[in-house]
């Protein structure tokens, strides 16, 4: 049964919870803070194995890491996080782990929906429907509907998601519209194609962050992260918290982002302006 309707007008969101040790975000100018961070939450299994625990116990601790990172993202001014929760390749894992992960993704949303809603988080879902449990889809869609008016922060849960799958599905949908006469193939450009992605109105990824020391994208956000800065940290995901996010953002802020352009070279420019002594 749906809850009571919200009162009309802007909502007052709660403040982010403080870090457990009282850490504060670094002072970084707003224009240097990434708006969209894509996170590959890697290392749950290795963290658990090193402690003689099951892989599922690593996933359970990793849930706390994600939502501490969300609190820290709101603190520092990030507006979007895309979290790689379950990939299209994760179906290759053991049936027992897949079954546990399906239930875990469903219950994670259910457990966290109230606090995320109070924080002003809009929850969205990227991923394929086929093979995904209906109960998981129902929970994700419920969370999307309940939080759709929140405008402080967006958490994009990527469940049964793959970057190549997203591009293939977008191309297929675009092809159907071309065949039906709804799209002129001579007018297709990147802007038109992007409208067929899972969440076309989300900004491109600025910072691509992976935990655990692995240095690969693993088929995540291939289109959206075309110009993202890559940061790979050695920390395993269950040991991650908002301070690791802030560290990655500091690395990001210290880089020059040129998007294919070139920075002026004072030495070369001065040389070009100085007349040659051999010039007649």
**Which pair of structure tokens corresponds to residue 100?**
């546990």
Catalytic one of 42, 68, 117, 206: 42
Which residues are CB-neighbours of 105 under 8 A, at least 6 positions away? 85, 86, 136, 139, 157, 159
Among candidate residues 99, 103, 105, 91, the one with its CA nearest the CA of residue 41? 105
**φ, ψ for residue 126, nearest 5 deg:** -115, 135
Which listed residue (21, 44, 90, 206) is catalytic?
90
How many beta carbons lie within 10 A of that of residue 62, not counting itself?
A: 25
Compute and round to an integer the Cα radius of gyration of the chain.
22
Phi, psi of 86 (to 5 degrees): -160, 120
**Half-sphere exposure at residue 117, Cβ-oriented, CA atoms within 13 angstroms:** 15
SS3 174: helix
CA 232/CA 229 separation, integer angstroms? 10
Q: How far apart are CA 44 and CA 101, in angstroms?
A: 12
User: What residue spans of 180-237 are helical by DSSP H?
Assistant: 190-194
Q: Does the active-site annotation cover 90? A: yes
Any catalytic annotation for residue 189? no
Distance of CA 67 to the CA centre of its chain: 13
Please state, in angstroms and rounded to a whole number, the distance separating the CA atoms of residues 234 and 213: 4
What residues are paired with 86 via a beta bridge?
159
Residues serving a catalytic function are 42, 90
């Amino acid at each position: 049964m749906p809850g009571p309707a919200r009162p009309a007008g802007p909502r007052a969101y709660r403040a982010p919870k403080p870090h457990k040790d009282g850490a504060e975000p670094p002072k970084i100018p707003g224009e240097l803070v990434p708006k969209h961070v894509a996170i590959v939450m890697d290392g749950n299994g290795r963290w658990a194995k090193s402690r003689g625990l099951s892989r599922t116990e690593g996933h359970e601790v990793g849930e706390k890491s994600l939502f501490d990172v969300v609190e820290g993202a709101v603190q520092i001014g990030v507006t979007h996080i895309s979290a790689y929760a379950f990939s299209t390749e994760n179906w290759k894992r053991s049936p027992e782990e897949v079954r546990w992960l399906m239930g875990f993704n469903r219950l994670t949303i259910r457990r966290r929906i109230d606090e995320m809603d109070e924080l002003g988080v809009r929850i969205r879902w990227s991923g394929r429907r086929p093979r995904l449990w209906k109960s998981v889809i129902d929970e994700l869609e419920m969370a999307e509907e309940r939080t759709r008016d929140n405008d402080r922060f967006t958490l994009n849960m990527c469940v049964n998601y793959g970057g190549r799958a997203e591009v293939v599905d977008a191309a297929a949908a675009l092809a159907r519209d071309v065949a039906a006469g709804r799209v002129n193939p001579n007018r297709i450009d990147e802007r038109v194609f992007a409208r067929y992605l899972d969440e076309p109105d989300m900004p491109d990824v600025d910072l691509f962050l992976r935990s655990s020391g692995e240095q690969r994208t693993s088929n995540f956000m291939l289109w959206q992260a075309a110009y993202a800065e890559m940061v790979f940290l050695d920390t395993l995901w269950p040991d991650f918290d908002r301070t690791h996010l802030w560290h990655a953002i500091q690395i990001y802020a210290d880089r020059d982002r040129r998007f294919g352009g070139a920075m002026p070279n004072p030495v070369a420019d001065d040389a070009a302006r100085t007349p040659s002594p051999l010039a007649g």
